[in-house]
Structure 1
């Protein structure tokens, strides 16, 4: 078969081509594009092809590629083969504004991503979302993380990046920010209000004000969130109307800052479903300030709350339990907080009236005094699917009581009791109960599917 004047579509992998065609029985394109470079051609065929002159079509396409910055032709090329050739040869280092204005093809932006960030893995999520979005998000992330505070120009470099990338940003992960130079009195970071308020389709934001590469700019407090920082952040968040997931991590938060944060999230993020404050040293005072700012109607769409490692004690757990009744949570994480057994008891009492599915109280200083309340939770709760009580001092007696009533629960699918003082044999017995529940649910789901299928056939 003659492929001399054809370009392979970017969606066809080389392995697929090899599965259907024998390289010795086909003529490949004469040019050194993706379809030829990545296939091992027999030496005699390769020598013959290198001596062949390019076709007029390829000469014209090469001229278009060389002059593309002055005359960007892409949609004007009617044939799919011509476009594939252009995408395989076009320089990925051209101005981003020029490329994004004319090209949307996934193959090209995946190629740009791979060439710019060679050490980064080509993420599987590229199959779920357009690669141009993934590229732009990584570009904006690097722009924010590497910008010195003195180079921030709202009407200059910031506006230029927003004009090019804002329409493609759905997720943003800022893992660090540059500190202020030591010559300044304040430790303020770059303001994020203008950036966040001009990302209309932002749905996920993961942010940290920590600093990874301080260098000569180190000074006390450069990793802390200042008054100016929290004001700019909350102003931007109050205009993120499409935000679904918000995570602030490794950033110490003062109680007054949590008031601003709660007000902005409640005011602007009406579709928020997941909120995570990880390793932020919130404390009981911070929890109180955050919840005092909220009303009964606040966070009516929140389903996931993660407060890992925030120095919350039993007092904070009690304050939290009184408010959670009004929130439709499906997942609650209080891991690495010393809430003790009293705090866990307050949480267990609240869970009885909540449709929660996942609970994580690992490493919370819980002891065997919680046994009775936990047994009641296991017997009465009908929606809990996963419970994590690992790294708590529960003891063998806790396990003996639990083994007697665990059979009453037909819903639970995962129970983590590692490092709780229970023997390995007892933990295996609990694991067997979980496997039985999962298998039973699968069987019931299969039977229901068969019944629905039969009803549909009867209606026909």
Structure 2
């Protein structure tokens, strides 16, 4: 008996009788077993089944999906080969078991599989196929006219375009000894076909090049960015844009920001993390914050922005006529103490934005931590999420932040790992954050719900060795006690 794909295989395991029940006296001579779904395995297939097998073999030549009953159509979708051309399957086969089989036959990424539960398999397969196409195509071999029909087929289904690598044009033998800047594929010819894309994720540069490494493979030309900006002009529905882990400099940012300011009114998130953007690029982002109507998340992690660059961003944030920016990520930028003081002035004057601030490992010291705790936290009314981890705040800075949180009921989460706080300050901060969450969600605050963290003060590498030796001795004592028992 054929098991439809709509029935979970676990269902049959639940109804499968146990060995004890099969050995009962009344079960020995029973011939009619309704729980046995393999009863027809040894029987000759029916004429309808043989006809379906013929349809499977001749599916590329003739398709009779509209003439078959639903159970036979399901049988075809469950057994059709997953190597059929997409020009045939996209118009004919709707979302369902066929596209799920096709996806699992080509890719087995666990992270993507978690996301598949919330979307249809047809869209997932086509988007992943487009990703593989763009990641492996050589720019010099791409001719837009040859793909016009294919773009028309896949365009309605591509909402999310993720490209983890982009190959460059191959150098000719005469150019291999020169430092000629190599171009990537022309995005102005590609993105104009995908008006429905709402998320674009790009990384310029190859992966797994091994012994063929050249520094030129990771360079970006101005023409590459101009082509990309021209393609963005044709995508008015873009909501999430990520261009990260690329050698992107200030002069590249200008063209992209200009494209979003002039031709996009729906952008929600922009990510330029792990690039080479400096202070001039930060000025362009300040212009984006000032002019764009919907941007609410900006990620500039691990760039080269200093106090001069952050000054332009904080100055724009103090204005009331800017975008509704809620999340600002500046971690791993060399802001220094002066840059963090610039952020202080913005947090005092602005009571609306940002709501989430990430300044992990930006180089501020205990002095700035004391100012942040004693001055900023009591006065600021906008912050709800703060990440100050991996900064040398020191013990006094932790005490100051704990004092400031006593007069602040807005902050719900604070990441203070590797800041040098003592155990008392950590416990006090954790208790006050729990209090704020209870007030936010209208729950009763109980101080006993907060667990006190075990604090081990480590000042040098020798302390780490001492702690490890103590833990080893405790494990040996527990093992000896178990043996004695």
TM band (smaller chain): 0.7 to 0.9
- The verdict on how the C-alpha distance between 1:435 and 1:20 changes in structure 2, with shifts beyond 3 A counting, is farther
Instruction: Tell me how far 1:11 sits from its aligned partner.
Output: 3.0
Q: Tell me the alpha carbon deviations over residues 142-193 of structure 1, each in whole angstroms, 9 at most, x when there is no partner.
A: 100000122111111x434423322111111111111221216440011111
- The verdict on how the C-alpha distance between 1:295 and 1:368 changes in structure 2, with shifts beyond 3 A counting, is closer
The answer to whether 1:314 aligns with 2:307 is: yes
- The verdict on how the C-alpha distance between 1:376 and 1:76 changes in structure 2, with shifts beyond 3 A counting, is farther
Work out which of the residue numbers 3, 26, 34 in structure 2 matches 1:25.
34
Counterpart position of 1:171: 160
- Could you tell me whether the CA contact under 8 Å between 1:7 and 1:84 is conserved in 2? no
Work out which of the residue numbers 366, 369, 373 in structure 1 matches 2:367.
369
CA RMSD between the two structures: 2.3
Structure number with bigger Rg: 2
Question: What secondary structure is seen at the aligned counterpart in 2 of 1:221?
Answer: helix
Counterpart position of 1:224: 219
Question: What secondary structure is seen at the aligned counterpart in 1 of 2:165?
Answer: coil
- Could you tell me whether the CA contact under 8 Å between 2:289 and 2:295 is conserved in 1? no
Counterpart position of 2:458: none
The answer to whether 1:331 aligns with 2:331 is: no
Q: C-alpha distance in 1, partners of 2:111/2:64?
A: 31
The answer to whether 1:389 aligns with 2:388 is: yes
Q: C-alpha distance in 2, partners of 1:322/1:362?
A: 21
Counterpart position of 1:126: 116
- Could you tell me whether the CA contact under 8 Å between 2:268 and 2:296 is conserved in 1? yes
Q: C-alpha distance in 2, partners of 1:408/1:75?
A: 69
Q: How does 1:7-406 map to 2 (within 5 A)?
A: 7-8=3-4, 10-19=5-14, 25-28=34-37, 49-79=40-70, 81-118=71-108, 123-156=113-146, 158-183=147-172, 185-214=180-209, 218-291=213-286, 294=288, 296=290, 298-325=291-318, 326-351=322-347, 352-370=350-368, 371-406=370-405
For structure 2, the 5+ residue unaligned runs are 19-32, 445-485
For structure 1, the 5+ residue unaligned runs are 29-40, 446-460
Instruction: Tell me how far 1:265 sits from its aligned partner.
Output: 1.3
Instruction: Tell me how far 1:407 sits from its aligned partner.
Output: 2.2
Q: C-alpha distance in 2, partners of 1:82/1:71?
A: 15
Q: C-alpha distance in 2, partners of 1:327/1:364?
A: 25
Q: C-alpha distance in 2, partners of 1:97/1:347?
A: 54
Question: What secondary structure is seen at the aligned counterpart in 1 of 2:421?
Answer: coil
Aligned pairs, number: 418
Instruction: Tell me how far 1:7 sits from its aligned partner.
Output: 4.9
Q: TM-score, normalised by structure 2?
A: 0.81
- The verdict on how the C-alpha distance between 1:290 and 1:85 changes in structure 2, with shifts beyond 3 A counting, is same
Q: C-alpha distance in 2, partners of 1:276/1:67?
A: 48
Moved more, 88-97 or 405-414: 405-414
Instruction: Tell me how far 1:216 sits from its aligned partner.
Output: 7.4
Moved more, 211-220 or 378-387: 211-220
Counterpart position of 1:436: 435
Q: C-alpha distance in 2, partners of 1:140/1:108?
A: 18
